[in-house]
Amino acid sequence: MALTAAPKAGDTSPPRHVAIIMDGNGRWAQKRGWPRLVGHRRGAERVKQIVRACPDLGVNWLTVYAFSTENWKRSTEEVLGLMKIFRRYIQREADGLAAEGVRMRFIGGRERLDPKLRALMAGIEARTASNTRLNLTVAINYGGRDELLRATTRLAEKIAAGQISDPTEADLAACLDTAGSPDPDLVIRTSGETRTSNFLPWQAAYAEYEFTDTLWPDFTPERLAEILDSFGLRDRRFGGV
pLDDT, one tens digit per residue, over 56-85 is 999 999 999 999 999 999 999 999 999 999
Predicted pLDDT of residue 5: 44
Section 18-40 average pLDDT? 98
Alpha helices in the chain (DSSP H): 25-31, 36-53, 76-99, 115-127, 144-160, 169-173, 221-231
Consult the annotation and say whether 27 binds a ligand: yes
Question: What was the pLDDT predicted at 236?
Answer: 63
Where residue 235 falls among pLDDT bands split at 50, 70, 90? Answer: low
Q: Has 69 been labeled as part of a binding site?
A: yes
| 70 in a labelled binding site | yes
Q: CA-CA distance, 145 to 111, in Å (whole number)?
A: 17
More confident residue, 132 or 236: 132
Query: If we measure between CA atoms, which residue out of 45, 37, 22, 120 comes closest to residue 74?
Result: 37
Catalytic residues: 23, 71
Identify the CATH number of the domain defined by range 14-134+203-230.
3.40.1180.10
Answer yes or no: is 171 a known binding residue: no
Higher-confidence residue of 13 and 211: namely: 211
- pLDDT number for residue 25: 98
pLDDT band at 241 (very low <50, low <70, confident <90, very high): low
Interval 130-155: pLDDT, tens:
999 999 999 999 999 999 999 999 99
Q: How far apart are CA 18 and CA 57, in angstroms?
A: 11
Q: 232: number of CA atoms within 13 Å, CB side?
A: 20
pLDDT of residue 227: 96
Listed by start position, the domains of the chain span: 14-134+203-230, 143-176
Check residue 14 and give its pLDDT.
77
| pLDDT above 90 for 239 | no
